[in-house]
Amino acid sequence: MYQIVSKKALNPTVTKMDIYAPYVAKKALPGQFIILRVDEDGERIPLTIAGYDREKGTVTIIFQIVGAGTELLNHKNEGDFIPDFVGPLGRPTHTDGLKKVCVVGGGVGCAIAFPVAKALHEQGCEVTSIIGFRNKDLVILEEEFKEVSDNFFMMTDDGSYGQKGNVCVPLNEMLEKGETFDEVITIGPLIMMKFVCAATKPYGVKTIASMNPIMIDGTGMCGGCRLTVGGKMKFACVDGPEFDGHEIDFDEAMSRSRTYAEFEARERETACNLFKKVVE
């Protein structure tokens, strides 16, 4: 069993938890993920590791409440336990030799982007961070990003905070002015990552995208997380989750993700109704 040692709401739909999992914390690296279950009969939920403390033995996860599983997880409180917490899984972010990187995060994807930006900063890399949200109420991790960034851009779609526009606005401006990067690393909604990769491709800037499709077993056996990368089938759980963004078939990935959206919404509504009955 794994204890929840802290819990904090970052915005109305995003929650941060620290889980006591010393063996996972000991091996965790930026870019990797875990798979947990809220109860013994529950679904397996893949979540990218948002941080870790090897001395305390804790692993930080940040999740958006989108389906029944994350709804159930969000009803857990500090001091509660979860039965399964497996990891670290996947390949860690490659940072060796990088001197100048632009990290582009969107929405809850910023929870994944932050440990990458932090690791790059700690190795002496010049980090430019661009993070974007729909509006001010959904902003997370602003101060944390500022602490590890040499250059920082905050974007909101409606202009209610920071600059108005999406993350591609400052990225395009920098590239058009001749700014160069060893890599651009993008993590967030599929449509955002698609346009980030489209923006960098004409300039020949290597761009890495972190893919987080539906996963079940986390070992490549189920095939649920398959993607087409460079015309070949890849599995996000074992071959990724990070891939060359210029080779990803984003349209296919978006089509597959929509297949489960209605199901997740329906299951979450069922879970919410059950909690309401318990409260009543």
Which residue range is the domain that position 238 belongs to? 100-256
Q: Are strands 183-187 and 2-11 parallel, antiparallel or unpaired?
A: unpaired
Tokens of 181: 């990067």
With vertex at residue 73, the alpha carbon angle to CA 69 and CA 76, rounded to the nearest 5 degrees, is 150
Is residue 250 located within the same domain as residue 113? Answer: yes
Does 276 reside within a domain? no
Task: Kindly report, residue by residue over 52-89, the tens digit of the pLDDT.
Answer: 999 999 999 999 998 888 899 999 999 999 999 999 99
Number of domains in the chain: 2
Does 280 reside within a domain? no
34 — pLDDT class (breaks 50, 70, 90): very high
Does 267 reside within a domain? no
CA distance 241 to 141: 22
Is residue 54 located within the same domain as residue 110? Answer: no
Of 61, 89, 117, the domain-final residue: 89
Does 160 reside within a domain? yes
218 — pLDDT class (breaks 50, 70, 90): low
Is residue 182 located within the same domain as residue 237? Answer: yes
Burial 199-227 (b: 16+ CB within 10 A, else e): bbeebebebbbbbbbebebbebeeebbbb
216 — pLDDT class (breaks 50, 70, 90): low
Tokens of 27: 């091996």
Q: State phi, psi for 237 to the nearest 5 degrees.
A: -70, -35
Who's near 96: CB < 8 A, 6+ residues apart? Answer: none
Does 279 reside within a domain? no
Q: Sign of the CA dihedral 237, 240, 245, 247? A: negative
CATH number of the domain bearing residue 217: 3.40.50.80
The 10 Å Cβ neighbour count of residue 270 is: 11
Is residue 85 located within the same domain as residue 151? Answer: no
219 — pLDDT class (breaks 50, 70, 90): low
Is residue 127 located within the same domain as residue 84? Answer: no
Mean pLDDT of 101-122: 95
So what's the pLDDT on residue 209? Answer: 94
Does 155 reside within a domain? yes
